[in-house]
Amino acid sequence: MMGPSHALSGAAVWLTGSWAMAQFADYHQTPLALAVGTAVCAGGALFPDLDLSGKVTRNQGGATVARTFGVVSLFVAEVVEKISLGVYYATKLSKDPRRNNGHRTLTHTIPFTVLVGWGTTALCAHYGKWAVVGILFFMIGLALRGLFDKWAERAGWVVVTLVSAAAAWFTFANLPGDRGYPMIGLAVGVGCFVHILGDMITRAGVPILWPIPIKRRMWTMIGLPNKIALRTGSKAETVVLRTAMTILSVLAAVGLVAPSVLQRFDIQV
């Protein structure tokens, strides 16, 4: 799947989940908390593709996510890709094929998802608002890249970086202090997981079972069979899937925000 579809799926899942929590578990969030969770989950849904590096020196190639903060994030992507490839070789069994690129390996596994979610939660618990502002800056940047890809492309990474910094600062200034913010860790983890599911419906598949060895393979790629798999960048993805996810997000957002708006104007339904 392409970057924008991943980001959109993260936003759709978070909004729908929040709506379900409000509806069935009576768990309500403030509009700011909702916006933060949605942005972080959309950004998290791009995070695993930080293993798709391009040509750093020539400033080209790489996944949507690798381009977010210009050369800095391209460099990070290069490092993540090499580490992933290292882990691949360190854990590979005799039937696992040789490879020369780490894309769709370590960062597309359940242990990685859990680690990122837990790490984010630990950072927020330990450093409070200061961790939150850093994580938000990073995740909002990714979300902007994904959700407003055409705009981000035109604006360039400097503008994307400035807008993320401003949004992170605004949130920082308005968030209640002295808390752990566990929802941010959850949103990052859920985002990563949604990304893996998104890649599973494409042909190449992902090593979702790692590190469970199957038939002398540690990195079994699991995905839909070729016949029904989604082709990356096809109409089914860019039109059908994205429209469906946009509608879902809008419906969930309206369902979440409408009751409090109606209440404010004292309108009974």
- As measured in angstroms, the least distance from the Cβ of 99 to Zn ion is 15
What residue type is assigned to position 193 of the chain? F
**Cβ at position 20, least distance to Zn ion in Å:** 26
As measured in angstroms, the least distance from the Cβ of 204 to Zn ion is 9
The least distance separating Zn ion from the CB of residue 35, rounded to whole angstroms, comes to 25
Give least dist CB 199 to Zn ion, A: 4
- Give whichever of 91 and 232 is closer to Zn ion, judged by the CB atom: 232
CB of 45 to Zn ion, least distance (A): 10
Minimum CB distance to Zn ion smaller for 81 or for 199: 199
Return residues touching Zn ion (CB under 5 A): 49, 199
d(CA 197, CA 113): 12
Nearer to Zn ion, 64 or 249 (CB): 64
Q: Among residues 19 and 193, whose Cβ is nearest to Zn ion?
A: 193
Please report the DSSP string for the chain in residue order. Answer: --HHHHHHHHHHHHHHHHHHHHHHS-----HHHHHHHHHHHHHHTTGGGGG--EETTTTEES-TGGGTTTHHHHHHHHHHHHHHHHHHHHH--TTSPP-S--TTSGGGSHHHHHHHHHHHHHHHHHHTHHHHHHHHHHHHHHHHHHHTHHHHHHHHHHHHHHHHHHHHHHHHHHS-SS---HHHHHHHHHHHHHHHHHHHTBSS-B-TTTT--BTTBS---B---TTTPBPTT-HIIIIIIHHHHHHHHHHHHHHHHHHHHHHHTT---
Q: Which is nearer to Zn ion, 49 or 96 (CB)?
A: 49
Instruction: Decide whether 7 or 218 has the Cβ nearer to Zn ion.
Output: 7
